[in-house]
Structure 1
Amino acid sequence: MIKEKSNPIIKKMMIALASAFIVGIICVFLKENLNKSGNGSIWNIINAIFFVDVTEKGAAGIGILYIIGKIFLNSLQLAIIPLVFTSLTLAMSSITDLRKLGRIAYKTILTFVLMYVAATLLAGIVGMTSVNLGIFKYMPDIAGGDTSNIQLVETPNPMGTILAFFPENVTAAFANNQAIFSVVFISVILGISIGFLEDKAKNIKKVVEDLNNIITLFLDVLMNRVAPYAIFSLIVRAFALYGFSQIKPVISYILITIMTLLIFLLIGYPIIIKLFAKLNSKKFIKEMIQPVLIAFSAAASSPALPLNIKINVEKFGVSEEIANFVLPLGMTINMNGTAIMHVIGTIFIGTISGYQVTVPQIMLMALLSMLAAAGTPAIPAAGSVLLFTVVNGVGYVNETALLIYSLILAINKPVEMFLTPLNIVGDATTTILVAKSENELDKDIYDGKKVYKRDLEIEEIVEGRF
């Protein structure tokens, strides 16, 4: 039996996370006390040094933590398009049996849908329980706020997601991270073609493989050397931006949603892994800590994709073709956490605005949420913006509803941070289930009895040269 080498990066991540929460809470109290005592100018200096967004027009300051976090996120975003392209192309090139490809795609989509159903069912139960217990209740006085300046963000028809898969220009698809659907389509077509052409396209396949290795090395260095400092910076800044006074009007929605998200994350997914994959759920949760921390701190799914692929292949024993197919696709259309937030948020908005929420309306919320979440870009705050698609679709559009939606949109950062890990853990869960059903999961690697070879090679390069 080969013992798995200890992974110091997990310890560094946990230290960074714990430190970030401590410092972040201190910043919240400091901000509140300085502003209340008339010393807001002191906080303004602190904000200028550490937290200010230096890219905003007229922004004055250094923004140390903002710059550290932004450099890290930009570096991860830089790898998204080439990683999705190379990994998905290589996965498709190894599947020359179109019946197998169809079977994998069918299992993947079906599992995504079932995950959505489970997530929205839990959200509906929690939301209505909150209404019945009086946690969510009608607040007529809140309508006294000024709604004249509310600007609702136009949301696209979720069915437009289908057309997003078919680009009209190749270079435009690769020039924009939001065109990830188009890159998926191009990668599938190219990969299948390489697989059928075999030796005639071996040079192109070799180029794609080399590019994939370069991206893998780049991401390993980034995660092992930069990630802990970036996570600390991102989380502390998020705390510093939102004081307690800003979240008081919707504190019940925030707490209930975060509680529901944690239940699905820490109980729901492990049960699925244990019951349906018959694997050690503790191992699953332990290995997912790193990508969860990345998704949590960035409040976006795409930065965690590279690490998610790496862990599924090297720690869970999933075949590369399954991981490279399911995970990029899941990043684009599988958003369990977003769906939970949409349903609970809509129930909260409807109840507080005086609407009578019914079971058929909750079913409609779930359907609209699945469609909206599937079309949600894997970028920060996108899920909050598309909440209006669900709210509007159910018909909660009076003045109070618009006011509450606007308030949630402004301060939904804590919920966004907690929901994003569910999206990537849901993708990993689906990957394991599909791989297990196709007999393409090496249980010895999952159980730690065998170490994935490339993990050692990359680790030696990273440890020896950087």
Structure 2
Amino acid sequence: MKQKKQNSAANKLAIQMAIALVLGLIAGAGCILIREQMMANGQADLWNTINSVLFQDITAEDGANAFGIFYILGQLFIKALQLVIVPMVFTSITLAMCTISDTRKLGRISYKTIKYFLITSFAGLIVAGIVGMSVYHFGLFDVEVSNLSASAGSTGTNPLLVVVNAIPSNIIGAFADNGAVLSIVFLAVAFGLSMHKLGDKVTVLKKFMEEINDIVTVILSFVITKFGPAAIFVLLTRTFAVYGIEHLKPAAAYVIATTLTLLVFLIVGYELFIKVFTGLNPFKFTKKMSKVALFGFSTSSSAATLPLNTQTCIEELGVPKDVASFTLPLGMTVNMDGTAIMQVIAAIFIAGSAGYEITIGNIVVIAVLALIASVGTPAAPGAGAIILFTVLSGMGYTNDAALLAYSLILAINRPIEMLVTSLNVYGDAAAAVAVAKSEGTLDEDVYNA
């Protein structure tokens, strides 16, 4: 009976999110048409007023006197989710370490998690490389970018720094930064294993963490259930109202190629993964994960989607809490299939439009750099396009034309980043199901319900 109620509530939420998605896309498209019409009729000032009242980023230089109602509502929702990311990740992983009494089991889960992450990532990189090379050879990446500013607004860094920064030098600093999730994962594993070693000596601390985790779960359930659909509508409407067709026209080939690749991998790739590595019905997975994908698409943040992803995996896909609590936060940090796919195609697009020769060897190196760089990508909106500069620097694609093309990517990439997030969270959940199935702990009755 309880499971039926949970499934009913989940289905209701999924329907509400789907409706919000459709309405948001319609409203966003309507805003684009209205803006184009106003611009064509010499009513730019009227549109600027509408934009100032509804959509303007009030933190930007030109937003000092704006209302930005949709921006404010969207940011309030995102921040409400981000508020509990650190305590949720830390307590869930720490408790998972305490729960897994067999250290050999912990080693197996870690190994299998990384293995499945790498399988989906390599598959995505191969597909992206093939698509990027094909589009390049058809000459579709010859894009005119001379009208853009050459200021890329980013500097390259060594992607291996993600390894160094995994262990924080200051615990308080790690807890104070939502971007240091990998450090939180390390601390949680260390704390959890130490608490397991001490056993009954730390019962008070364990109980305290359990209560914090319960509180966080209640807060997240309330925020997602009560405000999720409305937030999806607000976020989508604003995104498409701000990033209109004038941003998409200059690089239609990149946008179309990347979007189709991401959609195919999302719809086909993960379903094949579930079928091959678990033998389960992949359509059950797709149906139950659809609302998570929609949520990730709307928020463009893996971190903001983690709570709903965790809840769905445990309550609807039958993944035990200890596996989900370890696999999903780790995946949010290091498993970025969608980000890696986007970065490979974007790097080929930039190299092609900047006059660099593209070979199979180049694509292999781009793929490796994209895989490493994506591990260090913060689970936040727009981060993938910024980290892309690391790949470009590593390949030496830094002439003026490359910087101009990179500036174009920064201008048009937000809608693509939204789809990228859907892939990232899908991949995390698929790995969690595969790990649980291989351990014999997946509740198949819940999965097939």
Category of TM-score, reference length = shorter chain = over 0.9
Query: Hey, what does 1:455 align to over in structure 2?
Result: none
CA contact (8 A) 1:143 1:399 kept: no
Aligned residues with identical type, % of pairs? 45
Separation in 1, partners of 2:2, 2:68: 46
| TM-superposed deviation, 1:196 | 2.1
Aligned pairs for 1:424-463 (under 5 A) are 424-448=425-449
Deviation at 1:379, TM superposition (A): 0.9
From 59, 68, 71, give the equivalent of 1:63.
68
Match of 1:463 in 2: none
Alignment of 1:70-149 (within 5 A): 70-136=75-141, 138-139=142-143, 142=144, 144-145=146-147, 147=149, 149=150
Range with bigger deviation, 331-340 or 410-419: 410-419
Which residue is 1:412 aligned to?
413
Q: Hey, what does 1:452 align to over in structure 2?
A: none
Partner of residue 457, structure 1: none
- Answer with 157-166 or 233-242: which moved more: 157-166
Letter in 2 for 1:131: Y
Aligned-partner SS, 1:316 = coil
Q: What corresponds to 1:4 in structure 2?
A: 4
More divergent stretch after superposition (357-366 vs 100-109)? 100-109
Q: Distance in 1 between matches of 2:146 and 2:52?
A: 34
| Alignment of 1:48 onto 2:49 | no
CA distance in 1, matches of 2:446, 2:146: 60
The Cα of 1:246 is off from its aligned counterpart by 2.2
Alpha-carbon shift at residue 73 of structure 1 (Å): 0.2
The separation in 2 between residues aligned to 1:143 and 1:18, in whole angstroms, is 33
| Equivalent position SS for 1:354 | coil
Match of 2:335 in 1: 334
Check whether the contact 1:96–1:192 (CA below 8 A) recurs between aligned residues: no
Amino acid at match of 1:293: L
Hey, what does 1:193 align to over in structure 2? Answer: 194
**Residue 201 of structure 1: how far off its partner (Å):** 1.2
CA displacement 1:234-262 (0-9 Å, x = unmatched) = 00000111221222111110111010000
Provide structure 1 residue ranges, at least 5 long, that are not aligned to the other structure: 449-466
TM-score by structure 2 length? 0.96
Q: Distance in 2 between matches of 1:396 and 1:178?
A: 27
C-alpha distance in 2, partners of 1:268/1:144? Answer: 37
Change (3 A) 1:22 1:90: same
Partner of 1:379: 380
1:269-284 residue pairs with structure 2 within 5 A?
A: 269-284=270-285
Q: Is the 8 A contact 1:123 1:343 kept in 2?
A: yes
Distance 1:61 1:162, change over 3 A: same
How far residue 286 of structure 1 moved from its aligned partner, in angstroms, is 1.3
The alpha-carbon distance between structure 1 residues 3 and 300, as it changes in their structure 2 partners (threshold 3 A), is closer
More displaced, 1-10 or 122-131? 1-10
Q: Which residue of 1 aligns with 2:250?
A: 249
CA contact (8 A) 1:318 1:432 kept: yes
Partner of 1:223: 224
The amino acid that maps onto 1:256 is A
Q: Is the 8 A contact 1:95 1:192 kept in 2?
A: no
Match of 2:83, SS state, is helix
Match of 1:174 in 2: 175
Tell me the residue number matched to 1:456: none
Greater shift, 82-91 or 40-49, is seen at 40-49
Return closer, same or farther for 1:400/1:56 CA change in 2, 3 Å cut-off.
closer
| Structure-2 separation of matches of 1:246 and 1:101 | 47
- Residue ranges of structure 2 left out of the alignment (5+ in a row): none
Q: Distance in 1 between matches of 2:420 and 2:152?
A: 25
Matched position secondary structure for 2:180: helix
Q: 1:146: Cα distance to partner? A: 5.8
Alignment of 1:268-417 (within 5 A): 268-417=269-418
The 8 Å contact of residues 254 and 414 in structure 1, kept in 2 or not, is answered as no
Secondary structure of 2:331's aligned partner: helix
1:34 to 34, 38, 58: 38
Give yes or no for contact 1:96–1:196 (8 Å, CA) kept in 2. no
Distance of 1:143 and 1:21 partners within structure 2: 28
Partners of 2:175 and 2:148 in 1: CA distance: 43
Once residues 50 and 157 of structure 1 are traced to their aligned partners in structure 2, the CA distance between those partners, rounded to angstroms, is 40
Alpha-carbon distance in structure 1 between the residues aligned to 2:420 and 2:12: 26
Tell me, what secondary structure is at the counterpart of 1:386? helix
Structure 2: distance between partners of 1:99 and 1:257? 41
Give the 3-state SS of the residue equivalent to 1:178 in structure 2: coil
Q: Indicate if the aligned counterparts of 1:52 and 1:59 stay in contact, CA closer than 8 A.
A: no
In structure 2, distance between residues paired with 1:370 and 1:144: 30
Deviation at 1:97, TM superposition (A): 2.4
Which deviates the most, 16-25 or 405-414? 405-414
Q: Deviations over 1:415-438 (max 9, x none)?
A: 111111101100111111111111
Could you tell me whether the CA contact under 8 Å between 1:291 and 1:307 is conserved in 2? Answer: yes
Q: Kindly state the Cα deviation for residue 398 of structure 1 after the two structures are TM-superposed.
A: 2.4
Shift of residue 156, structure 1, vs aligned partner? 2.5
Deviation at 1:263, TM superposition (A): 0.3
1:165 corresponds to: 166
Which amino acid is the alignment partner of residue 119 of structure 1? G
Q: CA deviation at 1:278?
A: 1.1
Aligned residues: 444
Evaluate the alpha carbon distance shift between residue 368 and residue 3 of structure 1 in structure 2; reply closer, same or farther with a 3 A threshold. closer
Deviation track 1:93-124 (CA, whole Å, cap 9, x = no partner) reads 11232222122111111211121110000001
Matched to 1:4, the amino acid is K
How far off its partner does 1:353 sit? 1.8
TM-score normalized by the length of structure 1: 0.92
Q: Secondary structure at the match of 2:272?
A: helix
For 2:20, the equivalent position in structure 1 comes to 16
The offset of 1:143, in angstroms, is: 5.8
Q: Which whole-Å deviations, capped at 9, do the CAs of 1:65-95 have from their partners, x for residues lacking one?
A: 1111111000000010011011101100112
Given that residues 91 and 191 in structure 1 are in contact (C-alpha distance below 8 angstroms), is that contact kept between their aligned partners in structure 2?
Answer: yes
